[in-house]
Amino acid sequence: MGSKSAEETINNMAAMIEEQGLTKAQVVDILRQMMEIRALENNISNLLGRAVLKGASHLYAGQEAVAVGAVSALRDDDLITSTHRGHGHAHAHGDSAATTPEAKQEHYNKMMAEVLGKSGGYCRGKGGSMHIADVEHGNLGATGIVGGNIPVAVGAALAQKIQGADRVVLCFFGDGASNTGNFHEALNMASLWDLPVVFIVENNLYAMSVPWKKASKLPDVADRAVAYGIPGVVVDGMDPLAVRASVQEAVDRARRGEGPTIVEAKTYRWFGHSHSDPRAYRTKEEEADWRSRDPIKTMGQGLIAAGVIGEEEFEELDEFVSGKLDKAMAFSEASPVPKGEELTTDVYAPAKWTADDFAADRRLRAAIKEDPSQFPEMMYSQALAQAMREEMTKDERVFLMGEDIGLYGGAYGATRGLWEEFGEWRVLDTPISEATIAGAAVGAAMAGMRPVSEIMYVDFTPLAMDQLANQGAKNRYMFGGHTSVPLVCRTEGGAGRAIAAHHSQSLESLWTHFPGIYVVMPSTPYDAKGLLKAAIQDDNPVMFIEHKMLYKTKGPVPEEDYIIPFGVADVKREGKDVTIVTYSRMVLRALEAAEILAKEGIDVEVIDLRTLKPLDVDTIVTSIRKTGRLVGLTEAYENTSFINEVMVRINEEAFDWLDAPMIRVASANVPVPRAEILEDLCIPNVNRIAEACRKAVS
């Protein structure tokens, strides 16, 4: 079904109301919500025109029937994900969740204040127009990345499936998003697992300026549903009751466990893509034709014609909406701007570590160094599996997802045995879909689960960067601290197996760059187990990077239940002449070099960072004060590697204690080569490390 004329919509109104069994209160609420969205958008346009409002704002005016009609088909406990053009979704959902007139006004106030960047806004002014979120009521937030919310919706729906809940997720996005990889990966995964998600495509004919007919050979986005074995329907997006009927059917289907549906609503935006858009790609005739089907005017006339309301009631409703907007503006103008000290709040969820956790780690490390034989020995990969097993047994919210992690047991055996023990819905084999693996983890985490996703090689994590860095790492901050994203992304990196440039990199500096995500790189089985358990228990996104050459290494692992709090480096070897700061596999090479140098009378202290974010600067500074010399060691490319950040911090905080220039030992600035002889030359070896230490003390 495509768009109808205004006359057809008006004439069918009474029949649609009767067919759906709607009350007067319900249809008046639908009309009121659309009018309130329009009033908000017109007000925002006015503020932008007068330069009172700064920043980007993508207006929803004209599309109100889609958001209001779709959300009216939901229960109060259902969820939505939204887009950068999300004011309509946020208002329809939030107004429906509010149960009193006062709560509905408060909701409207918070929306307006957030758009204006005020502290009284939903996100305390940190999200703004493109990132409005009312997470507490099930609006998992809007994203400024086209299509960025689609994998998140799949993850939220996956959480419902695993939890055995019957909640449904509505995922709103535009026609432009249907050409992104996120769309195709997410629909495939959702259909594969029959997830309770409804994909609402708001086809307003133009992604930005390029028309749909130039973006696809198919006439409708819904035609793509056949590729994923799910229903795809087209509905008149200018008629809220038509939208409601189609979405209701899709929601009921999802709630029954029959999987997702694409509902494509043909609609039109009154304004340009953004305030600066001159709309030169559209004709005045086209705009006039769509405006003749204004959903607010059409529904108002339809309700009057059907005898549901009178003209006076419509006018009173208009006055009510105007007064409501005035109150929202008064609230927003009175709301203060965020205080300066708010700049650094909400980046990370509060740490859970206790003094006892830190003390236990110190005690166990000391015991291992004193007599490692008193503890059972296990491989690094086994320590990881044991950590996941313990956390999955303890907490039903913990589940694993990734490529080949089930029956196969993971590319390096780190999940071996877990599929048999916990079953396929706790150890999920996924399609090869890095972006949606990551995005689904974000959505599941925001919906109450604690996912541990696996990206097989760190070289592949850039494919997941948008979801982890732009959604997972930023959502807590953008949404004013009102959400947490407790996820772990396990991956592995490093060279040593002669598998060349696409499977051998050390890309941790990509991930240390983004605020809101922790980065962990253990070097021993003890560290691997304790840090992974801590990561799973933490309420923040954690990039957990293992090294492919460590999986078969063995070491002592205590039998007691322990975690290793983040931000505590470990002095793996004490010394007085020079400090090596390193992490991951390079810890082992640093220790080898230290033994060689000891025979030459050079006493090397080796510090294993264990976590790059948070970084334990104090332990490094304490060592520098003792030795006066620093060698920074990393397997990453020399150019912009994380060890450079360590050296900058030492320069800032311990420069006066340095007796010689700092030296770095890193991999060559070339793609990691296949030939073993070249690979060995590319990455730091024991001789290069030892020579750097000799130079430091000379």
CATH of domain 6-335: 3.40.50.970
Catalytic residue IDs: 503
Q: How far apart are CA 188 and CA 228, in angstroms?
A: 6
For the range 429-433, what are the long-range contacts, defined as Cβ-Cβ under 8 Å and sequence gap of 24 or more? 429/402, 429/403, 429/404, 429/405, 430/189, 430/401, 430/402, 430/403, 431/185, 431/188, 431/189, 431/192, 431/403, 432/403, 433/185, 433/188, 433/189
In the DSSP assignment, the letter for residue 139 is: E
Q: What is the pLDDT of residues 643-653, one digit of tens each?
A: 999 999 999 99
Question: Looking at residue 637, what is its pLDDT?
Answer: 97
The distance in angstroms from the start CA to the end CA of the chain is 81
Q: For 332-378, how does the pLDDT look when each residue is reduced to its tens digit (9 = 90+)?
A: 999 999 999 999 999 999 999 999 999 999 999 999 999 999 999 99
How high is the pLDDT of residue 136?
Answer: 87
Q: Measuring CA to CA, which residue among 646, 636, 652 is closest to residue 613?
A: 646
The DSSP H or E segment spanning 171 is strand 169-174
Q: Give Cβ neighbours of residue 614 (< 8 Å, ≥ 6 apart).
A: 518, 566, 567
How much of the chain, in percent, has pLDDT values that exceed 90?
Answer: 95
pLDDT digits (tens, 9 = 90+) for 367-377: 999 999 999 99
Amino acid occupying residue 428: L
Average pLDDT over residues 268-272: 94
Give CATH 3.40.50.920 domain extents, the chain: 570-697
Mean pLDDT within 400-409: 96
Identify the band that residue 2 occupies on the pLDDT scale cut at 50, 70 and 90: low
Please state the φ and ψ torsions of residue 629, each to the nearest 5 degrees: -140, 145
Give the integer Cα–Cα distance in Å for 666 and 670: 11
Residue 178's closest CA among 131, 209, 141, 220? 220
**Under 8 Å between Cβ of 109 and 120:** yes
Confidence at residue 113, expressed as pLDDT on a 0 to 100 scale: 95
Q: What is the mean pLDDT of residues 218-241?
A: 97
Q: Where in the chain is the domain with CATH 3.40.50.970?
A: 6-335, 355-556
> Minimal CA–CA distance to 577: which of 594, 560, 553?
594
The answer, yes or no, to whether residue 462 has pLDDT greater than 60, is yes
Q: What percent of the chain has pLDDT over 70?
A: 100
Residue 276's pLDDT band (boundaries 50, 70, 90)?
confident
- pLDDT tens-digit series, residues 14-50: 999 999 999 999 999 999 999 999 999 999 999 998 9
Nearest to 305 by CA among 38, 66, 9, 36: 9
Residue 1 has pLDDT above 60, yes or no: no
Is the pLDDT score of 324 beyond 90?
A: yes
- Residue pair 635/588 in contact (Cβ under 8 Å)? The answer is no
pLDDT band at residue 51 under the 50/70/90 scheme: confident
CATH class of this structure's domain 355-556: alpha beta
Residue 607 has pLDDT above 90, yes or no: yes
Contacts with 595 (C-beta within 8 Å, 6 or more apart), sequence order = none
pLDDT band at 275 (very low <50, low <70, confident <90, very high): confident
- 570-697 maps to CATH 1.10.1750.10: no
Q: Do the beta carbons of residue 623 and residue 572 sit within 8 Å? A: no
Compute how many other C-beta atoms are within 10 angstroms of the C-beta atom of residue 694.
14
Q: Which residues of 289-324 are buried (b: 16+ CB within 10 A; e: fewer)?
A: ebeebbbbebbbbbbbebebbeeebbeebeeebeeb
Question: Given pLDDT bands bounded at 50, 70 and 90, which one contains residue 383?
Answer: very high
**Which residue intervals of 168-215 are DSSP H helices?**
181-192
Burial class of residue 244 in the structure, from the number of CB atoms within 10 Å of its CB (0-12 exposed, 13-18 middle, 19+ buried):
buried
Checking if the pLDDT of 571 tops 70, the result is yes
Using the predicted structure, report yes or no on whether residue 277 has a pLDDT greater than 90: no
- pLDDT value, residue 484: 96
3-state secondary structure of 23: coil
Torsion of CA 337, 343, 347, 353, to 10 degrees: -110
pLDDT above 80: residue 3: no
Distances (CA, A) of 552 to 381, 388, 505, 525: 7, 18, 19, 10
